Amino acid sequence: MKKLGLYIHIPFCIKKCDYCDFVSFDSKNNRIESYAGAVICQIKKYAPFLKDYETDSVYLGGGTPTALPVRFLTEILKTVRENVNLTKDCEITCEANPRTGSEELFLQLKAAGVNRISLGLQTAIDSELSALGRIGSKDMVTGTVEGIKKAGIDNFSVDIMYSIPNQTPQTLAQTLEFAISQKPKHISAYALKIGQGTPLFERKEELNLPDEDGDIAMYRQCIDTLKDAGYMQYEISNFAKEGFKSRHNLKYWNCNEYLGIGCGAHSYFGGKRFCFTADLDKYINGVLNDISIVEDAMDIPQSEMVEEYIMLKFRLCEGIDPKDFGRRFGFPFETAFAPQIERFTGSGHMIKENGRYHLTFDGFTISNYIIASFFNE
**Binding site residues, ligand SF4, CB under 6 A:** 13, 16-17, 20, 22, 24, 62-64, 97
171's CB contacts (< 8 A; 6+ apart) are 123, 125, 128
Nearer to ligand SF4, 16 or 241 (CB): 16
Nearer to ligand SF4, 24 or 277 (CB): 24
Q: How far is the CB of 101 from ligand SF4 (least distance, A)?
A: 13
Nearer to ligand SF4, 62 or 184 (CB): 62
Nearest to 240 by CA among 193, 191, 180, 297: 180
Counting Cα atoms < 13 Å in the Cβ hemisphere of 360 gives 12
Nearest to 356 by CA among 322, 332, 325, 316: 322
Nearer to ligand SF4, 35 or 269 (CB): 35
Q: How far is the CB of 149 from ligand SF4 (least distance, A)?
A: 22
Q: How far is the CB of 134 from ligand SF4 (least distance, A)?
A: 6
Nearer to ligand SF4, 248 or 349 (CB): 248
Nearer to ligand SF4, 99 or 349 (CB): 99
Q: Which amino acid is at 38?
A: A
Q: How far is the CB of 352 from ligand SF4 (least distance, A)?
A: 38
Nearer to ligand SF4, 148 or 350 (CB): 148
Nearest to 360 by CA among 164, 228, 219: 219
Q: How far is the CB of 258 from ligand SF4 (least distance, A)?
A: 19
Nearer to ligand SF4, 16 or 266 (CB): 16
Q: Which amino acid is at 151?
A: A
| Cα angle 231, 234, 235; round to 5 | 120
Nearer to ligand SF4, 16 or 138 (CB): 16
Nearer to ligand SF4, 16 or 31 (CB): 16
Q: How far is the CB of 16 from ligand SF4 (least distance, A)?
A: 5
Q: How far is the CB of 316 from ligand SF4 (least distance, A)?
A: 24
Q: How far is the CB of 100 from ligand SF4 (least distance, A)?
A: 9
Q: How far is the CB of 83 from ligand SF4 (least distance, A)?
A: 27
Query: Using omega within 30 degrees of 0 as the cis cutoff, is the peptide bond preceding 63 cis?
Result: yes
Indicate the length of the chain as a whole number.
Answer: 377
Q: How far is the CB of 133 from ligand SF4 (least distance, A)?
A: 8
